Protein backbone atom coordinates (compact mmCIF):
# COMPACT_ATOMS: atom_id res chain seq x y z
CA UNK A 1 0.00 0.00 0.00
CA UNK A 2 1.30 3.38 -0.96
CA UNK A 3 1.29 6.04 -3.61
CA UNK A 4 1.32 5.60 -7.37
CA UNK A 5 2.15 8.95 -8.80
CA UNK A 6 4.05 11.25 -11.09
CA UNK A 7 7.44 12.70 -10.22
CA UNK A 8 9.47 15.43 -11.88
CA UNK A 9 13.08 15.22 -10.83
CA UNK A 10 16.03 17.54 -11.15
CA UNK A 11 19.54 16.39 -10.37
CA UNK A 12 22.72 18.46 -10.78
CA UNK A 13 23.20 16.58 -14.07
CA UNK A 14 19.78 15.98 -15.63
CA UNK A 15 16.10 16.76 -15.40
CA UNK A 16 12.93 14.81 -16.19
CA UNK A 17 9.43 15.75 -17.18
CA UNK A 18 6.66 13.93 -15.32
CA UNK A 19 7.67 10.30 -14.95
CA UNK A 20 6.04 7.40 -13.12
CA UNK A 21 6.78 7.29 -9.42
CA UNK A 22 5.18 6.64 -6.05
CA UNK A 23 6.18 4.40 -3.16
CA UNK A 24 3.85 1.52 -4.06
CA UNK A 25 5.15 1.57 -7.64
CA UNK A 26 8.76 1.10 -6.53
CA UNK A 27 7.82 -1.52 -3.93
CA UNK A 28 5.88 -3.49 -6.55
CA UNK A 29 8.67 -3.35 -9.13
CA UNK A 30 11.18 -4.59 -6.58
CA UNK A 31 9.06 -7.20 -4.76
CA UNK A 32 7.66 -8.81 -7.92
CA UNK A 33 11.13 -10.17 -8.67
CA UNK A 34 10.77 -12.41 -5.62
CA UNK A 35 7.09 -13.12 -5.08
CA UNK A 36 3.87 -13.00 -7.10
CA UNK A 37 1.18 -11.90 -6.87
CA UNK A 38 1.93 -8.50 -5.36
CA UNK A 39 -1.42 -7.06 -4.31
CA UNK A 40 -1.39 -3.32 -4.83
CA UNK A 41 -3.45 -0.85 -2.78
CA UNK A 42 -3.29 2.72 -4.05
CA UNK A 43 -5.14 5.54 -5.79
CA UNK A 44 -4.51 7.26 -9.13
CA UNK A 45 -6.23 9.87 -11.28
CA UNK A 46 -7.50 9.83 -14.87
CA UNK A 47 -4.05 10.82 -16.10
CA UNK A 48 -2.26 7.70 -14.87
CA UNK A 49 -1.40 5.61 -17.95
CA UNK A 50 -3.28 2.34 -18.39
CA UNK A 51 -0.10 1.09 -20.02
CA UNK A 52 1.73 1.45 -16.70
CA UNK A 53 -0.89 -0.61 -14.86
CA UNK A 54 -0.63 -3.26 -17.60
CA UNK A 55 3.14 -3.39 -17.27
CA UNK A 56 2.78 -4.00 -13.55
CA UNK A 57 0.08 -6.65 -14.13
CA UNK A 58 2.47 -8.48 -16.46
CA UNK A 59 4.89 -8.69 -13.55
CA UNK A 60 2.25 -10.34 -11.36
CA UNK A 61 1.01 -7.19 -9.68
CA UNK A 62 -2.72 -7.23 -8.94
CA UNK A 63 -4.29 -3.79 -9.27
CA UNK A 64 -7.77 -4.60 -7.90
CA UNK A 65 -6.97 -2.41 -4.92
CA UNK A 66 -5.92 0.57 -7.04
CA UNK A 67 -8.75 3.13 -7.08
CA UNK A 68 -8.93 5.12 -10.32
CA UNK A 69 -10.58 8.53 -9.84
CA UNK A 70 -12.06 9.63 -13.18
CA UNK A 71 -12.17 13.40 -12.55
CA UNK A 72 -8.97 14.07 -10.66
CA UNK A 73 -5.28 14.05 -11.33
CA UNK A 74 -2.74 11.66 -9.84
CA UNK A 75 -0.49 12.70 -6.97
CA UNK A 76 2.44 14.75 -8.26
CA UNK A 77 5.77 15.46 -6.58
CA UNK A 78 8.63 17.49 -7.91
CA UNK A 79 12.04 17.84 -6.30
CA UNK A 80 15.59 18.96 -6.86
CA UNK A 81 18.62 17.06 -5.56
CA UNK A 82 21.70 18.80 -4.20
CA UNK A 83 25.19 18.02 -5.38
CA UNK A 84 25.64 15.28 -2.76
CA UNK A 85 22.61 13.48 -4.28
CA UNK A 86 21.48 12.76 -0.76
CA UNK A 87 19.59 15.86 0.32
CA UNK A 88 16.85 17.43 -1.78
CA UNK A 89 14.34 20.27 -1.90
CA UNK A 90 10.69 19.65 -2.64
CA UNK A 91 9.54 22.03 -5.39
CA UNK A 92 5.91 20.95 -5.83
CA UNK A 93 3.55 18.65 -3.92
CA UNK A 94 0.13 18.35 -5.62
CA UNK A 95 -1.88 15.91 -3.52
CA UNK A 96 -4.72 15.67 -6.10
CA UNK A 97 -6.38 12.23 -5.64
CA UNK A 98 -4.35 11.57 -2.51
CA UNK A 99 -6.37 14.15 -0.61
CA UNK A 100 -9.39 11.81 -0.56
CA UNK A 101 -7.57 8.48 -0.36
CA UNK A 102 -9.74 6.03 1.56
CA UNK A 103 -8.09 2.69 0.85
CA UNK A 104 -10.20 -0.42 0.45
CA UNK A 105 -8.66 -3.85 0.85
CA UNK A 106 -10.32 -6.02 -1.83
CA UNK A 107 -11.84 -9.31 -0.65
CA UNK A 108 -9.35 -11.31 -2.76
CA UNK A 109 -6.45 -9.68 -0.84
CA UNK A 110 -7.71 -11.16 2.45
CA UNK A 111 -5.32 -13.76 3.77
CA UNK A 112 -2.25 -11.83 2.64
CA UNK A 113 0.67 -12.70 4.86
CA UNK A 114 3.07 -9.83 4.15
CA UNK A 115 1.91 -6.24 4.31
CA UNK A 116 4.11 -3.30 3.29
CA UNK A 117 2.75 0.09 4.33
CA UNK A 118 4.43 2.80 2.24
CA UNK A 119 4.91 6.25 3.70
CA UNK A 120 1.48 7.92 4.02
CA UNK A 121 -0.85 9.51 6.60
CA UNK A 122 -0.58 7.23 9.67
CA UNK A 123 -4.38 7.04 9.98
CA UNK A 124 -4.54 5.60 6.45
CA UNK A 125 -1.84 3.07 7.25
CA UNK A 126 -3.90 2.00 10.26
CA UNK A 127 -7.08 1.79 8.19
CA UNK A 128 -5.41 -0.75 5.93
CA UNK A 129 -4.24 -2.90 8.83
CA UNK A 130 -7.72 -2.78 10.38
CA UNK A 131 -9.37 -4.14 7.24
CA UNK A 132 -7.49 -7.43 7.33
CA UNK A 133 -9.71 -10.06 8.99
CA UNK A 134 -6.61 -12.08 9.86
CA UNK A 135 -3.58 -10.02 10.80
CA UNK A 136 -0.81 -10.49 8.23
CA UNK A 137 2.15 -12.55 9.45
CA UNK A 138 4.45 -9.55 9.01
CA UNK A 139 3.61 -5.86 8.77
CA UNK A 140 6.36 -3.46 7.65
CA UNK A 141 5.83 0.30 7.70
CA UNK A 142 7.67 3.27 6.34
CA UNK A 143 7.09 6.84 7.53
CA UNK A 144 8.74 10.26 7.31
CA UNK A 145 9.61 13.41 9.24
CA UNK A 146 6.39 15.16 8.13
CA UNK A 147 4.19 12.67 10.06
CA UNK A 148 6.50 12.67 13.05
CA UNK A 149 5.87 16.42 13.27
CA UNK A 150 2.21 16.62 12.25
CA UNK A 151 0.59 13.33 13.30
CA UNK A 152 2.70 12.04 16.16
CA UNK A 153 -0.14 10.53 18.24
CA UNK A 154 -1.57 8.64 15.26
CA UNK A 155 1.92 7.51 14.26
CA UNK A 156 2.70 6.17 17.73
CA UNK A 157 -0.49 4.12 17.56
CA UNK A 158 0.52 2.56 14.22
CA UNK A 159 3.95 1.75 15.70
CA UNK A 160 2.19 -0.58 18.15
CA UNK A 161 0.49 -2.44 15.28
CA UNK A 162 3.50 -3.28 13.10
CA UNK A 163 6.45 -5.65 13.19
CA UNK A 164 9.09 -3.72 11.28
CA UNK A 165 9.60 0.04 11.16
CA UNK A 166 11.67 1.56 8.37
CA UNK A 167 13.06 5.06 8.95
CA UNK A 168 16.16 6.97 7.99
CA UNK A 169 18.81 8.04 10.49
CA UNK A 170 17.55 11.60 10.95
CA UNK A 171 13.99 10.31 11.52
CA UNK A 172 15.22 7.82 14.13
CA UNK A 173 16.92 10.74 15.90
CA UNK A 174 13.84 12.93 15.53
CA UNK A 175 11.53 10.28 17.01
CA UNK A 176 13.68 9.72 20.07
CA UNK A 177 15.79 12.81 20.63
CA UNK A 178 18.83 10.52 20.75
CA UNK A 179 21.82 11.20 18.53
CA UNK A 180 23.29 7.72 18.99
CA UNK A 181 21.43 5.37 16.66
CA UNK A 182 21.96 2.52 19.13
CA UNK A 183 20.18 4.49 21.84
CA UNK A 184 17.50 5.65 19.39
CA UNK A 185 16.90 2.05 18.33
CA UNK A 186 16.45 0.89 21.92
CA UNK A 187 13.79 3.54 22.47
CA UNK A 188 11.96 2.82 19.22
CA UNK A 189 11.90 -0.93 19.88
CA UNK A 190 9.97 -0.11 23.08
CA UNK A 191 7.32 1.76 21.07
CA UNK A 192 5.95 -1.33 19.31
CA UNK A 193 8.01 -2.54 16.36
CA UNK A 194 9.99 -5.72 17.06
CA UNK A 195 12.44 -4.84 14.30
CA UNK A 196 13.84 -1.48 13.30
CA UNK A 197 15.63 -0.71 10.06
CA UNK A 198 17.56 2.57 9.98
CA UNK A 199 18.37 3.59 6.41
CA UNK A 200 21.49 5.71 6.00
CA UNK A 201 21.44 6.21 2.22
CA UNK A 202 24.92 5.83 0.74
CA UNK A 203 26.11 4.74 4.20
CA UNK A 204 23.99 1.58 4.24
CA UNK A 205 21.36 0.37 6.67
CA UNK A 206 21.19 -1.01 10.20
CA UNK A 207 18.77 -3.67 11.43
CA UNK A 208 18.01 -3.71 15.15
CA UNK A 209 16.15 -6.46 17.03
CA UNK A 210 16.23 -6.96 20.79
CA UNK A 211 19.94 -6.64 21.62
CA UNK A 212 21.15 -7.59 18.16
CA UNK A 213 22.32 -5.42 15.33
CA UNK A 214 23.15 -6.11 11.71
CA UNK A 215 24.73 -3.75 9.21
CA UNK A 216 24.31 -3.80 5.43
CA UNK A 217 26.42 -1.44 3.32
CA UNK A 218 25.22 0.37 0.25
CA UNK A 219 27.11 -0.69 -2.85
CA UNK A 220 29.77 1.95 -3.61
CA UNK A 221 28.74 3.30 -7.02
CA UNK A 222 30.57 5.44 -9.55
CA UNK A 223 27.45 7.43 -10.28
CA UNK A 224 24.19 7.89 -8.48
CA UNK A 225 21.92 9.03 -11.27
CA UNK A 226 18.63 9.47 -9.38
CA UNK A 227 18.08 8.43 -5.75
CA UNK A 228 14.27 8.81 -5.99
CA UNK A 229 12.54 5.63 -4.89
CA UNK A 230 15.69 3.96 -3.54
CA UNK A 231 14.15 3.61 -0.06
CA UNK A 232 10.92 2.13 -1.43
CA UNK A 233 12.85 -0.19 -3.72
CA UNK A 234 14.88 -1.29 -0.70
CA UNK A 235 11.61 -2.00 1.15
CA UNK A 236 10.23 -3.93 -1.83
CA UNK A 237 13.32 -6.13 -2.05
CA UNK A 238 13.29 -6.64 1.72
CA UNK A 239 9.68 -7.75 2.03
CA UNK A 240 9.83 -9.58 -1.31
CA UNK A 241 12.63 -11.79 -0.05
CA UNK A 242 10.82 -12.45 3.25
CA UNK A 243 7.58 -13.34 1.44
CA UNK A 244 9.41 -15.63 -0.96
CA UNK A 245 11.22 -17.50 1.82
CA UNK A 246 8.31 -17.33 4.33
CA UNK A 247 10.92 -16.89 7.06
CA UNK A 248 10.68 -13.85 9.32
CA UNK A 249 13.60 -14.71 11.63
CA UNK A 250 16.28 -12.11 12.42
CA UNK A 251 18.77 -14.26 10.48
CA UNK A 252 16.67 -14.19 7.35
CA UNK A 253 15.98 -10.48 7.74
CA UNK A 254 19.74 -9.93 7.43
CA UNK A 255 19.63 -11.54 4.01
CA UNK A 256 16.47 -9.59 3.18
CA UNK A 257 18.27 -6.32 3.92
CA UNK A 258 21.09 -7.28 1.59
CA UNK A 259 18.49 -8.09 -1.08
CA UNK A 260 16.85 -4.72 -0.46
CA UNK A 261 20.21 -2.95 -0.74
CA UNK A 262 20.93 -4.75 -4.00
CA UNK A 263 17.57 -3.68 -5.46
CA UNK A 264 18.14 -0.09 -4.32
CA UNK A 265 21.55 -0.08 -5.99
CA UNK A 266 19.82 -0.76 -9.33
CA UNK A 267 17.14 1.86 -8.73
CA UNK A 268 19.58 4.76 -8.53
CA UNK A 269 21.31 3.87 -11.81
CA UNK A 270 18.63 5.48 -13.99
CA UNK A 271 15.70 7.88 -13.63
CA UNK A 272 12.55 6.57 -11.95
CA UNK A 273 11.73 2.88 -12.41
CA UNK A 274 13.63 2.63 -15.71
CA UNK A 275 16.39 0.40 -14.39
CA UNK A 276 13.99 -1.73 -12.33
CA UNK A 277 12.09 -2.55 -15.53
CA UNK A 278 15.26 -3.78 -17.25
CA UNK A 279 16.93 -6.01 -14.71
CA UNK A 280 16.79 -9.78 -14.83
CA UNK A 281 17.17 -12.47 -12.19
CA UNK A 282 20.75 -12.92 -13.39
CA UNK A 283 21.47 -9.23 -12.82
CA UNK A 284 20.12 -9.54 -9.27
CA UNK A 285 22.17 -12.67 -8.55
CA UNK A 286 25.32 -11.02 -9.86
CA UNK A 287 24.73 -7.99 -7.69
CA UNK A 288 24.02 -10.09 -4.60
CA UNK A 289 27.42 -11.73 -5.15
CA UNK A 290 28.97 -8.25 -5.27
CA UNK A 291 27.56 -7.64 -1.80
CA UNK A 292 29.07 -10.89 -0.59
CA UNK A 293 32.47 -9.80 -1.91
CA UNK A 294 32.02 -6.32 -0.49
CA UNK A 295 31.67 -7.39 3.12
CA UNK A 296 33.03 -10.92 3.35
CA UNK A 297 36.20 -11.45 5.37
CA UNK A 298 38.06 -14.18 7.23
CA UNK A 299 38.74 -13.59 10.83
CA UNK A 300 41.37 -15.36 12.85
CA UNK A 301 41.47 -14.50 16.49
CA UNK A 302 44.32 -12.64 18.18
Site for a second copy, rule CB under 8 A = 33-34, 83-85, 179-183, 200, 203-204, 206, 212-217, 220-224, 245, 251, 254-255, 257-258, 281, 284-285, 288-289, 291-302
**DSSP sequence for 236-296:** HHHHHHHHHHT--SHHHHHHHHHHHHHHHHHHTTSSTTHHHHH--HHHHHHHHHHHHHHH-
Q: How far apart are CA 166 and CA 3, in angstroms?
A: 16
Give whichever of 99 and 221 is closer to a second copy, judged by the CB atom: 221
Question: Minimum CB separation from a second copy for residue 275, in Å?
Answer: 16
* 278 CB-side CA count, 13 A: 11
Question: Minimum CB separation from a second copy for residue 198, in Å?
Answer: 9
Q: How far apart are CA 177 and CA 244, in angstroms?
A: 36
Question: Minimum CB separation from a second copy for residue 151, in Å?
Answer: 28
Q: How far apart are CA 196 and CA 191, in angstroms?
A: 11
Give whichever of 8 and 213 is closer to a second copy, judged by the CB atom: 213
Give whichever of 47 and 285 is closer to a second copy, judged by the CB atom: 285
Question: Minimum CB separation from a second copy for residue 187, in Å?
Answer: 12
Handedness of CA 10, 14, 17, 19 (dihedral sign): negative
Give whichever of 20 and 85 is closer to a second copy, judged by the CB atom: 85
Q: How far apart are CA 1 and CA 81, in angstroms?
A: 26
β-bridge partners, 212? 209
Q: How far apart are CA 301 and CA 75, in angstroms?
A: 55
Residues 151 and 121 sit within 8 Å (Cβ to Cβ): yes
Q: How far apart are CA 264 and CA 137, in angstroms?
A: 25
Question: Minimum CB separation from a second copy for residue 203, in Å?
Answer: 4
Question: Minimum CB separation from a second copy for residue 85, in Å?
Answer: 8
Residues 104 and 34 sit within 8 Å (Cβ to Cβ): no
What is the three-class DSSP state of 47?
coil
Give whichever of 153 and 223 is closer to a second copy, judged by the CB atom: 223
Question: Minimum CB separation from a second copy for residue 47, in Å?
Answer: 34
150 φ, ψ to 5°? -105, -15
List the one residue out of 87, 207, 53 whose CA is nearest residue 140. 207
Q: How far apart are CA 232 and CA 164, in angstroms?
A: 14
Question: Minimum CB separation from a second copy for residue 231, in Å?
Answer: 17
Amino acid sequence: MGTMAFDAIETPFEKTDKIIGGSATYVAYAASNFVQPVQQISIVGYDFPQEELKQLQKRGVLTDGVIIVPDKKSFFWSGRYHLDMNSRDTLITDLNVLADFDPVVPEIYQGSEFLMLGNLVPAIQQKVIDQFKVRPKLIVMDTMNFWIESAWEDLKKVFTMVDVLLVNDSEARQITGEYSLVKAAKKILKMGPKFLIVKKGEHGALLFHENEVFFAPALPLEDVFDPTGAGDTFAGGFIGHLAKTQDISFENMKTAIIVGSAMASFCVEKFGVTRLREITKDDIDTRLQEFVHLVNFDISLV
